[in-house]
Amino acid sequence: VVLASAPKCGRCFWCLRGQPTLCEQIGHLASGGLLDDTPRFALNGARVHQLCFTGTFSEVTVVPGIAAVKIPDDVPLGPAALLGCGVVTGYGAAVNTAGIRPGDSVVVIGCGGVGLSAIQGARARQAGQIIAIDRVTDKLERARRRGADVVIGATGAIAAMEAMIGMTRRGGECVFVGMPGAHDTLSLPVLRALIATQRTFRGCVYGAIDIQTDVPDMITKYQNGELLLDEMVTRTLPLEEVNSALRNLTEGVDMARSVIAF
């Protein structure tokens, strides 16, 4: 199975309107437990939280059934693990949320696992020019000159999010995917950035996908060679090295994804 942190109950207001990544069950995520707000782990009598319903930094776990997606037996687990988050977030943002039309110019800011997947999604939507930016100034300038049809921000840095607006052409679309801090705010000149320029700002969580249909679909695309996953695994490491993997992620050492193999 692929474990997702965006369970879909299939019954609530949002699920019934085709927006399962807004499912009301998401509200339980902040509890650090499962759908009843309690974790299934404990150490010496104290609760041990399960991040995002999954708690995958352990050899065994208990998850909500609606957060597990069955995949075919012959799919290798390393690349499949990338479909739990990251890849679906970036790919889905480009395919489901951004209104990319064939030939559009697309800028993707932040080229970690999410950004690289957004690039793959833009390619799947037949974008014309795709400019990938990751702290490289000349590319930034190139994107600024005319402005892109669609700008996808796969970074939680507020300065980068503000820069995204200037990179979007008049009438273009800004898609915010990266996760800022819970209390971060965005300040922008409303008339110039939004109204007079008719830009569209869109937020996107978890690629706005339906885990139960889109994850199997993406497995098929992987098997057909349409979606690259193996190339995104920069390192495979044992559970004992989880802390160094997280450190590398924070410091930007790993380009794409580390996979922990049990």
Q: Annotate each residue in 135-174 with x if it binds Zn ion (CB under 5 A) or - if it does not, as one string.
A: ----------------------------------------
Q: CA–CA separation, 34 vs 38, rounded Å?
A: 6
Minimum gap (Å) between residue 87 Cβ and Zn ion: 22
* Residue 22 touching Zn ion (CB under 5 A): no
Q: Which helix (H) or strand (E) holds 132?
A: strand 130-133
Q: Judged by CB under 5 A, which stretch of 10-18, 81-89, 170-178, 191-199 contacts Zn ion?
A: 10-18
Strands 106-109 and 130-133: parallel
Minimum gap (Å) between residue 85 Cβ and Zn ion: 18
Minimum gap (Å) between residue 125 Cβ and Zn ion: 27
Strands 106-109 and 68-69: unpaired
Q: Judged by CB under 5 A, which stretch of 22-30, 32-40, 91-99, 172-180 contacts Zn ion?
A: 22-30
Minimum gap (Å) between residue 67 Cβ and Zn ion: 12
Backbone angles phi and psi of 130, in degrees to 5: -120, 120
* Residue 35 touching Zn ion (CB under 5 A): no
Q: Judged by CB under 5 A, which stretch of 23-31, 60-68, 88-96, 165-173 contacts Zn ion?
A: 23-31
Q: Is residue 94 within 8 Å of 121, Cβ to Cβ?
A: yes
For Zn ion, how many residues bind (rule: CB under 5 A)? 4
Which residue in the set 1, 9, 75, 157 belongs to the binding site for Zn ion (CB under 5 A)? 9
Minimum gap (Å) between residue 10 Cβ and Zn ion: 6
Which residue in the set 3, 4, 6, 15 belongs to the binding site for Zn ion (CB under 5 A)? 15
* Residue 23 touching Zn ion (CB under 5 A): yes
Helix (H, G, I), strand (E, B) or coil at 235: strand
Q: Token pair for residue 130?
A: 């795709």
Q: Is residue 197 within 8 Å of 189, Cβ to Cβ?
A: no
Q: CA–CA separation, 124 vs 91, rounded Å?
A: 9
**Would you give the DSSP letter of residue 22?**
G
Q: Judged by CB under 5 A, which stretch of 7-15, 76-84, 97-105, 234-242 contacts Zn ion?
A: 7-15
Q: Is 167 left (phi over 0), alpha (psi -120 to 50) or beta?
A: alpha
Q: Judged by CB under 5 A, which stretch of 8-16, 70-78, 125-133, 182-190 contacts Zn ion?
A: 8-16
* Residue 12 touching Zn ion (CB under 5 A): yes
Amino acid at 144: R
Backbone angles phi and psi of 170, in degrees to 5: -60, 135
Of the pair 23, 245, the CB lying nearest Zn ion is at: 23
Of the pair 12, 157, the CB lying nearest Zn ion is at: 12
Q: CA–CA separation, 251 vs 52, rounded Å?
A: 22
Q: Is residue 18 within 8 Å of 4, Cβ to Cβ?
A: no
List of residues contacting Zn ion (CB under 5 A): 9, 12, 15, 23
